[in-house]
Structure 1
Amino acid sequence: MNTLLLPRPNVLSTLSGSYELSVGATVSGPADLADAVRRALPILDLRPGDTGAIDVRVDPSLGEEAYRLVVGSRGVEITAGGRAGAFYAAQSLHQLLPDATYRSAVPAESWVVPGVRVEDAPAHTWRGLHVDVARHFLPKREVLRVIDLMAVHKLNRLHLHLVDDQGWRVESRAYPRLQEVASHRTRTATNYHREEPAYDGIPHGGYYTLDDLAEIAQYARAREVVVVPEIDVPGHASAILAAYPELGATGERFEVLDRWGISPAILSPLPPTVDFLTTIFDELLEALGATPYVHIGGDECVLDDWEASAEISAYRESLGLADVGELHAWFLRRLADVLAERGARAVVWDEAFVSGALRQDTLVMPWRGMGVGRRAAAAGHEVVATPVFPLYFDYAEAASADEPMAIGDTITVTDVASFEPAPASWEPGERERVVGLQGQLWSERISDARTLDYRAWPRACALAEVAWGGEAGSDFMDRLERHLGRLDALGVEYRPQAGPLPWQRRRPHRPSRVQVAAAMEHLDEMTQSATSTRPSI
C-alpha cells in the first residue's frame, strides 16, 4: 500500500473492506475543513451535506497540518487538527484513486477506494519551492499551476524571487517607473561566457499587478500554500536603479541588466531608501493579505560604492558602526524591524547572517552549505535548508551533452532524496531550529514553463518526500515510478529517469534579431531573383 502514497505517510495500514466513492458524493463536517477537502478533490465535485460519504472531524490534540484518514465499507473518515490537515488528508485520499482522476475530465463516475488507515503529520513546517521570476518572467497562469503542483505534493511555501538586476516583477502604485522601466530589458545574454558576450536582441519583460499578486496569494491560501515574496536588497539593484537612480550609492543610472552574474549596483543605505522600501513592503503586504514572511535577500552585495561615498561613510559613523560590513547588517536589521512592525518576519540569504546583528526572529537560508546553516542555528536563528547541493534545481541531472543548458551538474533525484536537512551530528537545539527545506529554481537558464517543469520534477517529488517525512523512505524510488503516472495525467513535462526525450534535449540558441534580419534579407533576395527569371505567360 505504501507504493501508492508520495510523500510517504508516518503510519499506513491496510484494512479489510473498501468503499465506492462517486462523483457528486457528499462531504460533512465543519465548513472550513469540508471546504478544504472539496478544494483538494475538485474532480469529485463533492457536495456539502449533513451526513456524507466523506465525514470530516476536528481533533484539537492534533497539529494544524496533522490528520487521520480511515477508509472502510461505511465511507471515508477524516480527522484533522485544522484546515491544512483536512486538505492533506484529501490529497492522500486522492492518491488512492486512479491516475485518471488527476485529469480535468475523467471517464468514470465512481471508483473503489481500498480500506486503509493513515496517521500522518509533517516533519517540517517549511516545505518550499523557490521560483525566480526576475531573470525570466513567468506569467500568472504558470504561477497558479506551480501552486497546484505544490499542493499535490504537500509543499507549502512558494518563494517568489520578484526582484533582481535583470528585472522588477511587481507593480508599485507609489513608484510607477518600477513597472514602466525596471520590468523589462532590451535583450538577454545567450552566451554564458562573459569574455565572449552574445545576445538574442529580443526584449524580455513582464510584471504582476498588485491585483495579480492578491489573486496569487488567495489562490495559494486556498491550497495551504504561503507566498513568500522576495525583494532582494541592497545588492542586485540594477533594475531598481534604472528606474530610480537617486536611490543608489552614487546616483549613477544603471540599465536593467541583460547578462548574468553579480552586478556592482547597490542601493544606498540612507533613510530615503528605507522609506522607499517601507512603501514597497506596505504595498506588498496589502496585496498579499496577512503574510508571515518577506524575504529581503542580503546576498552577493558589492559594498565598494558604500566605502567610497563620503555621505554614506558619514552616516555610518553617525550610527557608531565600524565598517561597511556592519552597515550592511544594520540596513537589513532596519528593514526587518519595519516588517516586524507590520506583523511579518524577515528571511535572508546566509551572507546576511555572516554580516551579523540580525533580529533574532529572522529566518536564514544557507545556500552556500549547511556549515553556515549550523552556525545560524547555533546563534538561535530558525533555518530553512537551501544548499546548492542538492537543492539547486537549475543544475543538470546528468553530465550529458543531451541535457538542456544548466548552471552546472550533477544533482539527481537520488541526491535530493538522500539529503539530511538536520544532520544527526548536530546538537539537538541546532537540529530543532531547522524548520524545513526548499528547492531553488533560479531562471538564468529556465526561460519558459516547459523548462521549469523539466528542472523541477521529479526532483521536487524527492524534496516533498524529505520535507514531509524528514527523510526519504527506502522504497521512495518505487513509489516515485508509480507517482509519475499522476504527473503524466497532470500534464507535467518532467525529466524521465532514463534521460531527456528528444524534444527536451539541448537545443541551439534562439536566433538573434540580427540573424533573423539577415535571413529575411536573404529570402527577399531569393524572391526577387525568382520573380525576375520567371517566364511570362
Structure 2
Amino acid sequence: MGFDEVIPAPGRAWWSPVDQGAFVLDPGTVLHAGPGTERVAHWLRSTVGAATGLLLAEGRGDHGIELGLDPGLGPEAYRLDVTGQGIRVRGGDPAGVFWGAQTLRQLLGPEAFRRAPVDPGRREWPVPLGTVEDRPRFRWRGLMLDVARHFMPKDGVLRYLDLMAAHKLNVLHLHLTDDQGWRIEIRKYPRLTETGSWRSRTKFGHRASPLWEEKPHGGHYTQDDIREIVAYAAERHITVVPEIDIPGHSQAAIAAYPELGNTDVIDTASLTVWDTWGISPNVLAPTDNTLRFYEGVFEELLELFPSEFVHVGGDECPKEQWRQSPVAQARIKELGLADEDGLQAWFIAHFDKWLSARGRRLIGWDEILEGGLAKGAAVSSWRGYAGGIAAARAGHDVVMCPEQHVYLDHRQAPGEDEPVPIGYVRTLEDVYRFEPVPPELTEPEARHVLGTQANVWTEVMEDPARVDYQVFPRLSAFAEVAWSHLPAPREREFIGFQRRMVAHYARLDALGVAYRPHTGPRPWQRRPGVLGRPLEGPPPNR
C-alpha cells in the first residue's frame, strides 16, 4: 500500500515507492507513547498488533514507532514521518495522533484491518518511506444512525464506531426514539422500553408497500450499554450525540404513557407502537406534565452522554391534533402565540433554555427555525440547503445534511435494480461531489457551518447487511468530503478517487463490510410486492 491510496485523501504527502525503501515492522519493533498518547498506543496494539501478530512492546529506539503531541499542528491535525529508522506520529492533540495512526494502518495493507493474522508466518510489514501532513476541513464529520425504525443491537453500533474511525469520522448521531420504537432505558419511566421498544409487526419496504412482516420487532439499550458505547466511541475520538424526538415522532412514548398525548382529542390509551412508516399524527400534548416528563428523560440522558450537543428532533410535527385540542388552544392563548407553529417553537425553546442552563446546546432538524430559535441552538439542515443558509445568516451553527445529497437510505442507481428503490438516486460520484458549504454564504456566515453529516434512516434496512449495502461505499466518499480539503465539486478527480477505492475495497472486505459492489447491485432475495415502482422524487418525509 502507498501514500497515494489513503482514504480520505491527506492534505500533503511525499513518499517513495516501497521498492525504493521502506521501514519494516517486525517482531522487534517497539512502540513508545509520549504523554497524552497512551490510549492511541493501546488502540494500535489491540488492533494493528492483533492483525499482524506483532507485540509492539513499549520501548524507545531506532527501530520503533513513536507517538507524541505537537500543539502547534492544530486540533485533530497530524504529521506522519516514515524513515529508514522508524515511524513518528505527531498530533496537535490526542485525536490528531489517533488519525495519524489510522493512516499508518492503511499503509500496512488490508491485512492490518483484520482481527487476527491471516498469515501467521508473516514476520515483516513494510511501510513506504514518506511524510504526511494532514488536518480535517470540518470539526463535525458525522454519521446519523437510525436505530428506532429497525433496532441495531449494541455490537452493531460498536462495529460502526470502528468503521467510522477507519474513515476519520468523529460524530455518531444516534437516533434513539421515534413513532416505531423507543430504544434507550430511562429508569424513571420503565414503560418507555417495556412497552415502547416493541412493535407487533413491521411493514416491508417503503410506505407504499401493502405487506407486513407479522412478527414482533424491538429491543433497546440499557444504560450500561450506552455507557459502553460512549466510552468505546471516546477511545476512538468520536462523540455520540443522542436524539430524543419531540414533539412529533413520539407515538412510541405516547403508547407507553398515554397521558403524554392529546387526550382531549383522541383515546391515547388505545395507541400502540406504530407498525408502519411515514408521519404519525399522534404528537405530544403541550402541557406542563409533558415538559416535566421529558425533563426527567433528559436528566438521565445528560448523565449518560457528555456531548456538547443534544438533538431534540423537532421535525415533521403535524398540527391537526393541536388545532382540535382545547388544551393546546388555551396554551396558545395563554402564551400569546400566533398559531400552532408558535406552539412548537415554544416547546423547542423550553428545552433550549433547559439544556443551556446545564451547559449543553440544543440541536434540531431545520424545522426548529420556524417560529424563531434561541441564540445558542444549532440546526441540522436536512430539507436541502435553505434551512442551513437561513440559520447561518441568523448566526446559528449548522450541520449540513441535505437529503438530496447525503441520505444514504436513498437508492444508488436508477430503475428497479436496487433492493428498495426509494428517494433520490445518489451514486458514489454524486456523494463525492457534494459540497457542504453553499456558495451563497459569505465567509463570516460560512464559519457557522460546523461540518456535515450523512444520514441513514432504517425503514427499509431490516438487518445489518442491508445497512452496510446502503452505507458503503458511499460513506467512504462522504468521509473524504468531510475530511479532505477538496476543490470545487466539478473540479474533483472522481476517477482518482475510484482508483484509490480499489485498495479501499480490500480494506472494507477485511473489515467484513457487505458493501454495494461498485460494478452493480448484489443479487438480492426480493419479497413479492416489496420492490414496486421507484418513486419519481424524494419520499414525502425524511
- Name the residue aligned to 1:67: 78
Structure 1: distance between partners of 2:340 and 2:424: 35
What letter corresponds to residue 484 of structure 1 in structure 2? Y
Cα-to-partner distance string for 1:476-495 (whole Å, 9 max, x where unaligned): 12111221110011111100
- Residue pair 1:135, 1:167 contacting (<8 A) in 2 also: yes
1:399 CA drift (Å): 1.5
- Name the residue aligned to 2:227: 214
What letter corresponds to residue 154 of structure 1 in structure 2? K
Cα-to-partner distance string for 1:450-502 (whole Å, 9 max, x where unaligned): 00010000000011000001437522121112211100111111000111232
1:198 CA drift (Å): 2.7
- Name the residue aligned to 2:514: 493
What letter corresponds to residue 123 of structure 1 in structure 2? R
- Name the residue aligned to 2:180: 166
Q: Aligned pair in 2 of structure 1 residues 123, 197: CA closer, same or farther (>3 Å)?
A: same
Structure 2: distance between partners of 1:447 and 1:152: 25
Question: Taking every aligned residue pair, what percent have the same amino acid on both sides?
Answer: 44
Structure 1: distance between partners of 2:107 and 2:366: 41
1:2 CA drift (Å): 4.6
1:507 CA drift (Å): 4.6
Q: Aligned pair in 2 of structure 1 residues 403, 40: CA closer, same or farther (>3 Å)?
A: farther
Structure 1: distance between partners of 2:42 and 2:107: 16
TM-score, structure 1 normalization = 0.90
Structure 1: distance between partners of 2:60 and 2:334: 67
Gaps of at least 5 residues in structure 2 are 50-54, 531-542
TM-score, structure 2 normalization = 0.90
Q: Number of matched residues?
A: 506
Structure 2: distance between partners of 1:411 and 1:102: 28
- Residue pair 1:316, 1:323 contacting (<8 A) in 2 also: yes
- Name the residue aligned to 1:49: 59
Match of 1:79 among 79, 90, 97: 90
Which shifted more, 482-491 or 266-275?
Answer: 266-275
Measured on the aligned residues, the alpha-carbon RMSD in Å equals 1.9
1:468 aligns with 2:453: no
Matched residue SS, 1:445: coil
1:409 CA drift (Å): 4.0
- Name the residue aligned to 1:374: 389
Match of 2:333 among 311, 317, 340: 317
Q: Aligned pair in 2 of structure 1 residues 32, 509: CA closer, same or farther (>3 Å)?
A: farther
Gaps of at least 5 residues in structure 1 are 511-537
- Residue pair 1:12, 1:117 contacting (<8 A) in 2 also: yes
- Name the residue aligned to 2:40: 36
1:435 aligns with 2:464: no
- Name the residue aligned to 2:371: 356
Match of 2:344 among 324, 328, 332: 328
1:147 CA drift (Å): 0.4
Larger CA Rg, structure 1 vs 2: 1
Cα-to-partner distance string for 1:269-312 (whole Å, 9 max, x where unaligned): 22211111111111122123x22111100000011222222222
Structure 2: distance between partners of 1:192 and 1:453: 18
1:428 CA drift (Å): 1.1
- Name the residue aligned to 1:412: 427
- Name the residue aligned to 1:157: 171
- Name the residue aligned to 2:103: 92
- Name the residue aligned to 1:4: 5
What letter corresponds to residue 43 of structure 1 in structure 2? V
1:420 CA drift (Å): 0.8
- Name the residue aligned to 1:402: 417
Cα-to-partner distance string for 1:295-346 (whole Å, 9 max, x where unaligned): 1000000112222222222223222322221121111011122122222211
What letter corresponds to residue 96 of structure 1 in structure 2? L
Match of 2:286 among 269, 278, 295: 269
Cα-to-partner distance string for 1:190-215 (whole Å, 9 max, x where unaligned): 26455x74322111010000110110
Match of 1:185 among 199, 217, 238: 199
What letter corresponds to residue 437 of structure 1 in structure 2? T
Q: Aligned pair in 2 of structure 1 residues 50, 191: CA closer, same or farther (>3 Å)?
A: closer
Structure 2: distance between partners of 1:506 and 1:373: 38
What letter corresponds to residue 427 of structure 1 in structure 2? T
Cα-to-partner distance string for 1:92-113 (whole Å, 9 max, x where unaligned): 1111112111111122233111
Structure 2: distance between partners of 1:224 and 1:142: 18
Q: How does 1:213-232 map to 2 (within 5 A)?
A: 213-232=226-245
Cα-to-partner distance string for 1:327-386 (whole Å, 9 max, x where unaligned): 211110111221222222111001111x13222221211111012211111111111111
- Name the residue aligned to 1:18: 22
Structure 2: distance between partners of 1:508 and 1:37: 51
Cα-to-partner distance string for 1:51-78 (whole Å, 9 max, x where unaligned): 5711122112222201111000110111
Which shifted more, 311-320 or 382-391?
Answer: 311-320
1:50 CA drift (Å): 4.6
- Name the residue aligned to 1:457: 472
Match of 1:255 among 267, 272, 281: 272
- Residue pair 2:36, 2:68 contacting (<8 A) in 1 also: no
What letter corresponds to residue 184 of structure 1 in structure 2? W
- Name the residue aligned to 2:298: 281
Q: Aligned pair in 2 of structure 1 residues 422, 183: CA closer, same or farther (>3 Å)?
A: same
1:156 CA drift (Å): 0.6
Structure 2: distance between partners of 1:47 and 1:363: 45
What letter corresponds to residue 312 of structure 1 in structure 2? A
Q: Aligned pair in 2 of structure 1 residues 151, 371: CA closer, same or farther (>3 Å)?
A: same
- Residue pair 1:298, 1:349 contacting (<8 A) in 2 also: yes
Structure 2: distance between partners of 1:397 and 1:30: 45
Q: Aligned pair in 2 of structure 1 residues 401, 214: CA closer, same or farther (>3 Å)?
A: same
- Name the residue aligned to 1:111: 125
- Name the residue aligned to 2:155: 141
Structure 2: distance between partners of 1:406 and 1:346: 34
Cα-to-partner distance string for 1:105-143 (whole Å, 9 max, x where unaligned): 122233111111111110001111111111100010100
- Name the residue aligned to 2:533: none
Which shifted more, 166-175 or 430-439?
Answer: 430-439
Structure 2: distance between partners of 1:494 and 1:191: 19
